[in-house]
Chains A and B, each alone.
Chain A
Amino acid sequence: MTETVLGHPTLTGIVFFLLFVAATLYITYWAAKRTRTTAEFYAAGRSITGLQNGLALAGDYMSAASFLGIAGLVSLKGYDGLIYAVGFLVGWPIVTFLIAEPLRNLGKYTFADVVAYRLKQRPIRTAAATGALITVLLYLIAQMVGAGSLIKLMFGLPYEIAIIVVGCLMIAYVLFGGMLATTWVQIIKAILLLGGATLLVLLILYQFGFNYVELFSNVTEKYGDKFVQPGGLIKNPLDALSLGLALMFGTAGLPHILMRFYTVPDAKEARKSVFYATGFIGYFYILTFTIGFGAAALVGHEIITKIDKGGNMAAPLLAEALGGEIFLGFLAAVAFATILAVVAGLTLAGASAVSHDIYVGVIKRGKADEKLEVKAAKIATLCLGLLAIILGIVFKGQNVAFMVGLAFAIAASANFPALFMSIFWKKFTTQGAVWSIYSGLALSVALIIISPTVWVDILKYEKAIFPLKNPAIVSFLGSFIVGIVVSFLTTEKEAEEKFEDEKIRSYIGIGAE
């Protein structure tokens, strides 16, 4: 393969993309008529089934960055890419065992509902919404910047135009169609992505007589035995442990993921939906791993790195090599759909933290009628969407890779510990929760600035003050310790008494909304 149409708009790419946009806008129009109340706007009227939500959760989680990024990483580094893929999956069992059902039974629209269930509303909602918003914003910036660059690489569309197109579509989905439209965008995207990746893997395996051993033989002949062995990715065990904690518990603290559990009718469907999601995501990462090896074998390092040094174009190049321009166009449109779906989910989660927690919970002290809250949520969506477009353009060309790691670290250190302790620990107090959230947040941000990730890679200092690349091992444990110590120093009789009621609702669902 010498010539590629990658980087130029192709007819098939544009046709597939327009089909996707038309279908999703039609869904948004359909959903808009069913999006009037707060339960409809934030939670799709709790009408989503376990299987549908499983697909939507997978759709929310499988970003273009992880599809193109991990396939690229595997294509260039071989086995080490698999270590990343595994890390992104292992948070899901934790969500299943500890979080999904209590969250569904205790909350209404946001995870702050659960933390604030028996504690003081205003300080808790302020703290939890701050954690949620910062997580969402960091993730959103990383996605927007990635989207702009990827679309430029694939279609040759100017960066700013790409950001504006993505931003406007995502605002349209959320603003008019709320959670119902967002959910169906996720479902369609998940099916397209899983289908496209499966087809690509079948085409790879066809080349090797459906024999994985042949595929591995091919790459080891080309790149040596090292390619299928763990290499230099994990040098310092503590570093690996810290990143592992961030990925595992961060998944269980991502606001846009947690919010999805409110879209199903009850805890049983919530639990089923994580089981489906874990299966889809695990299957997806196994496919991505195969695609990486396929690209290394059939496209080769030289061409992959010529197009993009980081290897992000490995999967599209492979699609072109095996399925021609039509398949490339399809896969590029799928990547675009993937980006759109993820940013829409993030925007909705961010907007609900602003409208449900800050505006209604804190400013209005919980007293606002349905109409006013939906209006506030729509204004928040619009503002957040515009902010995402502006930030996406501002951060053009910046190294934003650390932002995803930081978002996971904050989710693991600020959001997860407070959520976990509020569900399981009777003596947890308002002060304990507030301090736990802010200390997790402050530790994550402060430590990542003085870590090699920012201090050396971005600020170009010689040696980092904090030795680990991801702060989670300190910030995650620190947040728990602070929460426990402060709770012991303060007592909250009312919260302790309410714990028994919380238990009844959490375990048998009586009173759940």
Chain B
Amino acid sequence: MREEILKSSHFKELVKSKNTISLILTLLELILYFGFILLIAYNKDFLGQKIYGPVTVGIPVGIGVIILSWVLTGIYVLWSNRVYDEKVLKIREKLGGE
């Protein structure tokens, strides 16, 4: 059974799709956070600009990093629940419903 799984194109495709999604989302998170840090380090003036009354650009940006991080985990979980789990189920069924 082990050989069967390893040889099956379904399994290879499963591993590849999951690694791709994980990699893309990890990169997005790294860009999001370190982009924020670098913006603070190199362009404080931009973040310090007022956009609405006393509210500066930095406030929605900082809160936005928190919310977007959560949204990214949501995208991952949604993809896994809808797509990944289906694929796993198919591979398991092919093997005689283990």
- Decide yes or no whether A205 CB sits under 8 A from chain B: no
Contact flag A90-B69 (CB < 8 Å), given A229-B56, A508-B14 = yes
Q: Quick one: which of B47, B50, B52, B62 has the most chain A CB within 10 A?
A: B62
Q: What is the distance, in angstroms, from A416's C-beta to the closest C-beta of chain B?
A: 13
Instruction: Say yes or no: B73 contacts A96, CB within 8 Å.
Output: yes
- Decide yes or no whether A503 CB sits under 8 A from chain B: yes
- Decide yes or no whether A282 CB sits under 8 A from chain B: yes
Chain B residues near A237: list those with CB within 8 A.
37-38, 41-42
Q: What is the distance, in angstroms, from B41's C-beta to the closest C-beta of chain A?
A: 4
Chain B residues near A161: list those with CB within 8 A.
none
Chain B residues near A18: list those with CB within 8 A.
none
Smallest CB gap from A240: residue in B: B37
Chain A residues near B25: list those with CB within 8 A.
93, 97
Contact flag A216-B73 (CB < 8 Å), given A504-B6, A509-B88 = no
Main DSSP-derived SS at the B contact region: helix
CA distance A483 to B39 in the complex (A): 32
Q: Quick one: which of A86, A244, A510 has the most chain B CB within 10 A?
A: A86
Chain B residues numbered 1-56 whose CB sits less than 8 Å from any CB in chain A: 2, 5-6, 11, 14-15, 18, 21-22, 25-26, 29, 32-34, 36-38, 40-42, 44, 47-48, 50, 52-56
Chain B residues numbered 45-79 whose CB sits less than 8 Å from any CB in chain A: 47-48, 50, 52-56, 58-59, 62-63, 65-67, 69-70, 72-74, 76-77
Instruction: Say yes or no: A230 contacts B47, CB within 8 Å.
Output: yes
Chain B residues near A85: list those with CB within 8 A.
62, 66
Instruction: Say yes or no: A96 contacts B58, CB within 8 Å.
Output: no
CA distance A255 to B32 in the complex (A): 26
Smallest CB gap from A215: residue in B: B54
Instruction: Say yes or no: A94 contacts B29, CB within 8 Å.
Output: yes
CA distance A207 to B25 in the complex (A): 40
Q: What is the distance, in angstroms, from A178's C-beta to the closest C-beta of chain B?
A: 28
Instruction: Say yes or no: A282 contacts B69, CB within 8 Å.
Output: yes
- Decide yes or no whether A402 CB sits under 8 A from chain B: no
CB contact between A282 and one of B34, B42, B52, B67 (< 8 Å): that residue: B67
Instruction: Say yes or no: A282 contacts B88, CB within 8 Å.
Output: no
Instruction: Say yes or no: B54 contacts A220, CB within 8 Å.
Output: yes
- Decide yes or no whether A501 CB sits under 8 A from chain B: yes
Contact flag A216-B55 (CB < 8 Å), given A240-B37, A268-B81 = yes
Chain B residues near A86: list those with CB within 8 A.
33, 36, 62, 65-66
- Decide yes or no whether A449 CB sits under 8 A from chain B: no
Q: Quick one: which of B5, B66, B80, B85 has the most chain A CB within 10 A?
A: B66
Smallest CB gap from B85: residue in A: A268
Contact flag A229-B55 (CB < 8 Å), given A86-B36, A271-B80 = no
Main DSSP-derived SS at the A contact region: helix
Instruction: Say yes or no: B22 contacts A98, CB within 8 Å.
Output: yes
Instruction: Say yes or no: A230 contacts B54, CB within 8 Å.
Output: no
Stretch in A118-126, A273-281, A432-440 with 4+ CB within 8 Å of B: A273-281
CB contact between A97 and one of B29, B36, B38, B85 (< 8 Å): that residue: B29
Smallest CB gap from B69: residue in A: A93
Chain B residues near A229: list those with CB within 8 A.
44, 47-48, 56, 58
CA distance A286 to B34 in the complex (A): 19
Contact flag A230-B44 (CB < 8 Å), given A86-B62, A507-B18 = yes
Instruction: Say yes or no: A507 contacts B15, CB within 8 Å.
Output: yes
Instruction: Say yes or no: A228 contacts B77, CB within 8 Å.
Output: no
- Decide yes or no whether A89 CB sits under 8 A from chain B: yes
Chain A residues near B59: list those with CB within 8 A.
79, 82, 216, 228
Instruction: Say yes or no: B76 contacts A97, CB within 8 Å.
Output: yes
Smallest CB gap from B77: residue in A: A275
Chain A residues numbered 228-257 whose CB sits less than 8 Å from any CB in chain B: 228-230, 233-234, 236-237, 240-241, 244, 248
CA distance A509 to B14 in the complex (A): 13
Chain A residues near B42: list those with CB within 8 A.
237
Q: What is the distance, in angstroms, from B24's C-beta to the closest C-beta of chain A?
A: 9
CA distance A82 to B36 in the complex (A): 12
Q: What is the distance, in angstroms, from B62's C-beta to the closest C-beta of chain A?
A: 4
Instruction: Say yes or no: A79 contacts B33, CB within 8 Å.
Output: no
| Per-residue contact bits, chain B 76-98, to A (CB 8 Å; 1 contact, 0 not) | 11001100010010011000001
CB contact between B37 and one of A96, A241, A282, A510 (< 8 Å): that residue: A241
Chain B residues near A96: list those with CB within 8 A.
73, 76-77
Instruction: Say yes or no: A213 contacts B76, CB within 8 Å.
Output: no
Contact flag A234-B40 (CB < 8 Å), given A79-B59, A278-B73 = yes
15 additional contacts (CB under 8 A) given A225-B50, A237-B42: A79-B58, A82-B58, A82-B62, A85-B62, A93-B72, A94-B29, A228-B55, A229-B58, A248-B33, A271-B77, A278-B70, A285-B66, A504-B5, A507-B88, A510-B92
Closest 4 CB pairs of A and B: A229-B48, A237-B41, A220-B54, A216-B54
Some 17 contacts from A to B, beta carbons below 8 A apart, are A83-B62, A86-B62, A89-B65, A93-B25, A94-B29, A97-B21, A98-B26, A216-B54, A220-B54, A229-B44, A234-B37, A278-B69, A278-B73, A279-B73, A503-B15, A504-B6, A508-B5
Listed in ascending order, the chain B residues whose CB lies under 8 Å from chain A are 2, 5-6, 11, 14-15, 18, 21-22, 25-26, 29, 32-34, 36-38, 40-42, 44, 47-48, 50, 52-56, 58-59, 62-63, 65-67, 69-70, 72-74, 76-77, 80-81, 85, 88, 91-92, 98
